[in-house]
Each structure stands twice: as structure tokens, then as C-alpha cells.
Amino acid sequence: MSLPLLTLLSLSLYSALRQGIAARIVDTRAKFPRFEPSLVIVQQGARSDSSTYVKMKLKAAAEAGIKCHLVQLGGAEDGIGEQEVMAEVERLNADSDVHGIIVQLPLSDDIGRDGERRITEAVSPEKDVDGFHAYNIGLLSSRASEPLFAPCTPAGVMLLLESTGVDISGKHAVVLGRSDIVGSPVCALLRRKDATVTQCHSRTKNLEQLVKQADIVVAAIGVPRFVQGSWLKPGAIVIDVGTNFIDDATRKSGSRLVGDVDFDSARETASFITPVPGGVGPMTVAMLMENTVLSAQRLLDKSQQRLVKPLKLVCKPNVPSDIEIAKSQVPKPIDVLASEIGIPGQDLELYGRNKAKVKLEVLDHLRHRRDGKYIVVAGITPTPLGEGKSTTTIGLAQALGAHLGKAAYACVRQPSQGPTFGIKGGAAGGGYSQVIPMDEFNLHLTGDIHATTAANNLLAAAISARFFHESTQTDKALFNRLCPPKKGVRTFAPIMFKRLDKLGITKTNPDDLTDDEKAKFARLDIDPEKISWHRVVDTNDRYLRKIQTGLGPAEQGKTLETGFDIAVASECMAVLALATSLADMRDRLGRMVIGESRAGVPITCDDIGCTGSLAILMKDAIKPNLMQTLEGTPVFVHAGPFANIAHGNSSILADKIALKLAGIEEGESDDKNGYVITEAGFGADIGCVPLSLSLSFTLVDAVLMLASSSRAAWKSSSTSSAARRASSRTPSSSSRPCARSRCTAAGPR
């Protein structure tokens, strides 16, 4: 005698889920306007069945208010294989605007099952909304952990079971199938609900007898109408996951979709049964949307936390030397710190374990944030060695970040090797308030100073070469060298149009210039007595302060008196610190004046024609460097212009990036706003004032000025404990002779 039947039509449940997801998105977006769950489907080739499933997912995403995008890659016949699909997955992993990634299976035969597994596991577990990644499957199998995402179909199965109102605990469940996508995950989820689970497959003996004992049957074995109604225990719950096409002459397509259970016979015995189609399928799509929204919510929460886990600092009563303290602390991996403060992976370039460059694109990714609070550390009366400001900057950042739990970013300059190997020493701070690793900070770091040196000296070499050629050649010969005919045609290089504009020449064809215009264009007429551009070297070498060049016989007696400055005194370094983008840096480099003509007309880098070459040499140097303090709080180290010849602060770009990282977005409370502590070198008159004049962004919050010196820091009761400890290691202003005169190779230019 058959029991009453209730067919589980999941469409109503799916509709309720879809509406609930859409409502949650609307509610979250009302508070955080930029909240937009985003799902990307990667499809290789154009299989008709895959395309049908993709269209279904795109439609469901649109109905739920989820942004869904299809990346349609070619098939194997188009040369698209495992490597190309993998590259697209890795690109999407790095895109912080993408919350969920699906690789539509199956892939082409040349990729195979092993290739499919590698590609599936290449998807970041944090974006694995399908729940197929080995990391999520592994966590699902452990009772002691929770996966980031449960596989969609198994999760849909569990939701259908729970919708019956039947208590799963203690029930005997038989699962037909052992795939990693359905069978095994369903077993794990049922065990988590305290069901007794028997997993069967195609080689299981006495399958019918095992099914007859089951209170719950989940069929995912891939054989049409395999389970018969006579196999079922009266009143059993049947979830049919199968999707099989069988011939049907009555259908226009010639086939129809059936499940793994013979529906007509099973409905006479089962109390609950899902139809095919219209049963598990819609629930799978619903759980995919649910996982995508869950991923977006997690990433939103993570972006707002920005919590730095401090490193434990052990302070000894007898304070060791700075180098001993620095060596005693093991820095956290810099990519871990970057993740803590919310720098997307695609915006980070690692330089080993302890330092990294931050791409300027991070400003685009953080454009939705308001700027944080801005603190400038300067000295009212600088000490002879300039000590105190770096220590106070780092100490304040540690106090705010490691002890008060605020988002705090220090911004300091990269030290020159001249002072580092001279009397003054390094600039990593002091005592228990330092940037680590100290040796990497004080020496080459990521090569920015070397790149600036190369750019500066390239321009110096070009100036000398231009002076020599103008001194030994006619106007016609100079013009032919600048605009040589190629296959009988002369053209201007792009940089040359700036020279033409300066001269008021509007012609674009070199052959159209008059002899007088050609002479004006080709001859800069450099005055050797007015060349102000020096070569640089990042070492205190006093014998290079004034030199004579061009003494070789090939220079035909065209000598020049010049000299070397310290590398950080180069105007290229000043430009690096002031630039707001790569294009802005290029423009600023082009406007640098290198001397005058005999008529007193300023000559620029654009006139020499070296601007693009300098920008190329410095294209990586423009990216700020990320390091950390002794307590694991973030430090941006960038640029190093001396304050006695320039503005004496780290770069505008480092400050701008730090301000965005420290800031908050619409919907966040003001108490989450963070701080950027930037150092202005030397005294307030030649450090802070030029900084305030050079800022290329608007400050919303008031600027707090901290006046620091080596003695005042530890005497002030308001100074942070970290700064006081550090100041105990800072020598007094009278303990060493003045070294300012040895900080540059040639003094102020």
C-alpha cells in the first residue's frame, strides 16, 4: 500500500532563495554603494550543452542582481589549451573586483581529466564558488573545520532535505555515486548532520538490498532510471541528482531528460522525491549565487578590517645596539603584511621575502576610499646629525598600529649610502623603533637610487656628447644627425616636437624647414660655463666634487669643468618624489633645466632629447617600496631627496597610497579612519615647508605637526612609549661632530 506522496518541486524554494539573495544585495548596497557581487565564468570552446548551462547561470545571476561575465575562450582548434585557460584563471584570481570564478566543465579532450583538475585547483579557494577546490573539499571532509564554500549541488541537496522538515539526525542515508563533485561531498554534509551514511557505486554488491534499508536516498550514479521504486523503503526521501538524455520520438529534439531514479515507480513508495528536470538543478544554481554573494561579503568585510597582526617585541632593560635589536626580530613575510593592510595581490611586486614594490594601479583600486589622517613629523631645530625625526616617525607608527590597534602607516625616505657609510649612519630609526631589515633598508633596497643615478648620468653623458658635436660640426651636419633620411624620408622623433614648439615652428616635415629653422632646431649652443647638470654617485667621494672631463685625444680638447653630487641630490630624485604618475614624472623630467645657451636661454632635458630614456630607467623606481617596523606595522620607503637642496620628504605617491589604505569608504564609521605619519627632513623651514608647498592632493583632516629632537622625544610625557624607548638609543646632539658637510659629495648645488 503506497504512502501519501509530496513531490518536491524545488522551483518555489529556488524562487524564494533568489529573492532573498537579491534583497540582501540591495540592503548591503544601500550602506556600501560599491558592493557588487561579481561572478566570472570561463568557457573553453563552444560545446552546445556547456553553452546552455552557461546561459542558465547568466540568467540566474541577472535575476539575483549579481554581475556575471562570460570569458569565452577559443577551443583546442584555436590553439587554446591548458596553459591559456590557466593564465586566465590566474588573472581573475588577482582581480579584486571578481568574487567568484567558475571554469565550465568539461574542457577539451586535449586538456584531459588531469588538466581539468589542475585548472580547477588553480582557482583561488577564496573565489571557488563551485566548491570544487581540493582545499574546500578537504575542509568539508573534516569535522573540525568549515570549508569556505560547499559544492553547489551537494549544498542544494541538503537544502532540499531540510525543506521537508524531516530530522536528518540518526537517519540512514544511502548515496549512490562517489564523484568529488556530488557523491563524496553529499556524504560529508550528511555526516555533519549526524546521519548514518552508506556510499555506494557501480561496483557495490547487493545494491538493491542496501537501498531498501535507506531512509534517505541520493542518486548520482549517472545511469538513467537505475533506481526502481521496488528498491525503496516505504516513506523514503529520494533526491535524484541524475541528468541523463534518453531517446524520445515524441519530442522535437528526439530526446528527453530523465534522472537516475525511475520517477513513475518511485513516486508510489517515496514520501518525498525530486523530479528531473526541475528538482536539484535550480537549487544548484541558487547555491552558486549564494556562494558568490557570500564571497563578496567576505571580501568586503576583509577590506574593512585591515588589521595588522603585530610582531612581539621583547624590550630589554639594558638596551642593545640598534643593529642587535634589528637582527633579533624576524620580519613577517611582506606579502602577508600586504594582505593584512588590503593591498590586492595584483598590485604587489615582491623583491624577495622582506620587501616589495606597490604598483600605482592600487590607487585606482582604492579610489572609493576617503583619505586617512595625515601627520607630518618635522624638527623645529634640527640637530647636527638630523637624528630624532625618523625615530619619532617610526615610534609613533608602532604606537598607533601595534599598541592602539589603529591603521597606521609610516612614510620615510630611502637613505643614501653616503651618510650610511659616513659619520651620520643609516636612517632606519633607532632602538626599538626601527624599519627592518635594517641592512636592506639602508643599502640597495630595490635599486631606486641606482636607477636614479643611471638616469642622471645618462643625461650628463648626453649633454657632454651634444656639446662636443655642436663644437665640431656644422649646422647642416647636426641636422642630418638628428633627422637622418631613412629610405629617402626624414621624420621627426616625437620628443623633437617639444623643441619645435619651443621655437615656434609648426612644421611637421623636416624637409620643409628653412636653413635658419634647421640651425635653430639642431644647435642648442650650450654655454660650457653655464652647464648646471652634474654627474652623481651614491658615495661620499670628496675628490669628485670638482673634475675636468674630455681629456682624451678623441675629444679634441673640448674639455668641461664639472663635478659629482651625491645621488640623492640629483634633480631626478626630487622629480621622483614629486611625481603623481609615470606620465607626470616624464613631463617633470623633460622640464628640468640643465644649463643655458650662450644667449642665456634655458636648455631643458626635452631639448637634449633624453626625457623618454630617463623615464624608462626610472619606470620601476616610481613605485613605492613596502617594508615594516620592528613590530610588523607597515612602512612605505620611497625616494630620498635631501632637504638642504630639495623638499626632503618621501614621495607624494607613497603618501597618497598610504592615505587611501588608511582611509575609510562610505558606510564605515569614522573611528576606523587611520593615520599616515610622514617625515619631513631637516628643520621645518627646509623640510616641512617645501613639503606643504609640493603636496598635489587636498588634505581633508588637519595636519598635526610633531616637533622632534633627540632630547625632546624622551622628555615629553606625551610621546609614545615606543618613541621613548627608541630615543634612549639616539645619541645626543653634542655626542658627535657635525656631519652635515659630509652628507653630500659636493654640498648644496
Q: What is the CATH number of the domain that holds 604?
A: 3.30.1510.10
Q: Which residues pair with 706 in a beta bridge?
A: 377
Whether the link from the prior residue into 277 is cis, omega within 30° of 0, is: yes
**115 and 150 in one domain?**
no
- Check if 130 is active-site: yes
Instruction: Report yes or no: 239 and 276 within 8 Å, Cβ to Cβ.
Output: no
What is the spatial distance between Cα 633 and Cα 331, in angstroms, rounded to a whole number?
A: 10
- For residue 268, the 8-state DSSP code is T
Residue partners of 346: CB distance under 8 A and separation at least 6: 94, 95, 96, 359, 361
Query: Up-side HSE of residue 266: CA atoms within 13 Å toward CB?
Result: 29
**289 and 274 in one domain?**
yes
Does residue 92 fall inside a structural domain?
yes
- Structural domain ending residue among the three candidates 90, 105, 123: 123
Stretch among 206-210, 448-452, 681-685 having the lowest mean pLDDT: 681-685
**283 and 151 in one domain?**
yes
DSSP string, 84-120: HHHHHHHHHHH-TT--EEEEPSP--TTTHHHHHHHHH
Closest CA relative to residue 182, chosen from 85, 86, 281: 281
**594 and 653 in one domain?**
no
Q: What's the pLDDT band for 726 if we cut at 50, 70, 90?
A: very low
Share of the chain above pLDDT 90, in %: 70
Q: Which residues pair with 374 in a beta bridge?
A: 676
Does residue 686 fall inside a structural domain?
yes
CATH number, residue 93: 3.40.50.10860
Give phi and psi for 44, each to the nearest 5.
-100, 130
| Rounded average pLDDT over 595-600 | 96
Does residue 498 fall inside a structural domain?
yes
**163 and 116 in one domain?**
no
Cα distance between the two ends of the chain: 104
pLDDT (tens digit, 9 = 90+) per residue, 74-84? 998 999 999 99
Does residue 562 fall inside a structural domain?
no
The parent domain of residue 356 ranges over 322-445+623-742
**682 and 611 in one domain?**
no
Extract the C-alpha cell encoding 490.
Answer: 626624414
Distances (CA, A) of 135 to 145, 362, 454: 11, 29, 47
Does residue 395 fall inside a structural domain?
yes
pLDDT score for 740: 27
What is the spatial distance between Cα 297 and Cα 36, in angstroms, rounded to a whole number?
A: 9
Extract the C-alpha cell encoding 569.
Answer: 641630490
Does residue 23 fall inside a structural domain?
no
**373 and 274 in one domain?**
no
* Catalytic member of 43, 127, 128, 130: 130
Stretch among 64-68, 555-559, 693-697 having the lowest mean pLDDT: 693-697
What is the spatial distance between Cα 393 and Cα 691, in angstroms, rounded to a whole number?
A: 16
**279 and 170 in one domain?**
yes
What is the spatial distance between Cα 492 and Cα 482, in angstroms, rounded to a whole number?
A: 8
Q: What's the pLDDT band for 704 if we cut at 50, 70, 90?
A: low
Number of structural domains, the chain?
A: 4
Does an H or E element contain 594, and which?
strand 593-596
Distances (CA, A) of 389 to 35, 161, 543, 686: 41, 65, 31, 14
pLDDT (tens digit, 9 = 90+) per residue, 391-422? 889 999 999 999 999 999 999 999 888 888 88
pLDDT score for 690: 52
DSSP string, 437-473: SHHHHHTTTTSHHHHHHHHHHHHHHHHHHHHHHHHHS
Extract the C-alpha cell encoding 167.
Answer: 530530522
What is the spatial distance between Cα 112 and Cα 106, in angstroms, rounded to a whole number?
A: 9
pLDDT (tens digit, 9 = 90+) per residue, 430-463? 899 999 999 999 999 999 999 999 999 999 999 9
- Structural domain ending residue among the three candidates 253, 279, 305: 305
At 378 the three-state DSSP class reads strand
pLDDT of 723 over the 80 cut: no
What is the spatial distance between Cα 657 and Cα 636, in angstroms, rounded to a whole number?
A: 9
Report pTM: 0.81
Does residue 104 fall inside a structural domain?
yes
**Cα angle 454, 459, 464; round to 5:** 125
* Catalytic member of 43, 44, 104, 434: 104
Closest CA relative to residue 215, chosen from 153, 154, 270, 283: 270
pLDDT score for 694: 56
pLDDT (tens digit, 9 = 90+) per residue, 156-198? 999 999 988 899 999 999 999 999 889 999 999 999 999 999 9
Mean of pLDDT over the chain: 87
Angle, in degrees to the nearest 10, between helices 582-590 and 571-578: 150
**149 and 85 in one domain?**
no
At 123 the three-state DSSP class reads coil
pLDDT of 719 over the 90 cut: no
Q: Is the dihedral of CA 417, 420, 424, 426 positive or negative?
A: positive
Closest CA relative to residue 662, chosen from 638, 678, 683: 678
Query: Up-side HSE of residue 353: CA atoms within 13 Å toward CB?
Result: 6
What is the spatial distance between Cα 636 and Cα 652, in angstroms, rounded to a whole number?
A: 11
- Structural domain ending residue among the three candidates 602, 617, 632: 617
**690 and 575 in one domain?**
no
Distances (CA, A) of 699 to 192, 331, 365, 367, 468: 54, 32, 20, 15, 48
What is the spatial distance between Cα 135 and Cα 358, in angstroms, rounded to a whole number?
A: 29
pLDDT of 728 over the 50 cut: no
* Catalytic member of 43, 44, 57, 359: 57
Does an H or E element contain 25, and which?
helix 11-31
Instruction: Report yes or no: 386 and 737 within 8 Å, Cβ to Cβ.
Output: no
What is the spatial distance between Cα 411 and Cα 143, in angstroms, rounded to a whole number?
A: 45
At 629 the three-state DSSP class reads strand
Residue partners of 571: CB distance under 8 A and separation at least 6: 456, 592, 646
pLDDT of 718 over the 70 cut: no
Q: Please count the other Cβ atoms lying within 10 Å of the Cβ belonging to residue 78.
A: 11
DSSP string, 194-209: T-EEEEE-TT-TTHHH
Extract the C-alpha cell encoding 321.
Answer: 645596539
pLDDT score for 692: 58
| Rounded average pLDDT over 15-30 | 92
**330 and 207 in one domain?**
no
CATH number, residue 661: 3.40.50.300
User: Identity (one letter) of the amino acid at 385?
Assistant: L
Q: Is the dihedral of CA 339, 342, 346, 349 positive or negative?
A: negative
Q: What's the pLDDT band for 684 if we cut at 50, 70, 90?
A: low
pLDDT of 5 over the 90 cut: no
Burial (0-12, 13-18, 19+ Cβ within 10 Å), 106: middle
- Check if 475 is active-site: no
Share of the chain above pLDDT 70, in %: 88
Helix H segments across 267-316?
280-305
**Cα angle 387, 391, 397; round to 5:** 155
pLDDT of 714 over the 50 cut: no
pLDDT score for 748: 31
pLDDT (tens digit, 9 = 90+) per residue, 75-122? 989 999 999 999 999 999 988 899 999 999 889 999 998 999 999 999
pLDDT of 579 over the 50 cut: yes
- For residue 688, the 8-state DSSP code is I
What is the spatial distance between Cα 187 and Cα 143, in angstroms, rounded to a whole number?
A: 12
pLDDT score for 727: 37
- For residue 332, the 8-state DSSP code is P
Q: Which residues pair with 526 in a beta bridge?
A: 597
Query: Up-side HSE of residue 645: CA atoms within 13 Å toward CB?
Result: 23
**455 and 405 in one domain?**
no
- Check if 247 is active-site: no
Extract the C-alpha cell encoding 344.
Answer: 590586492
CATH number, residue 193: 3.40.50.720
Extract the C-alpha cell encoding 554.
Answer: 678623441
pLDDT (tens digit, 9 = 90+) per residue, 642-672? 766 777 788 999 999 999 999 999 888 888 9
Does residue 118 fall inside a structural domain?
yes
Q: Please count the other Cβ atoms lying within 10 Å of the Cβ belonging to residue 540.
A: 20
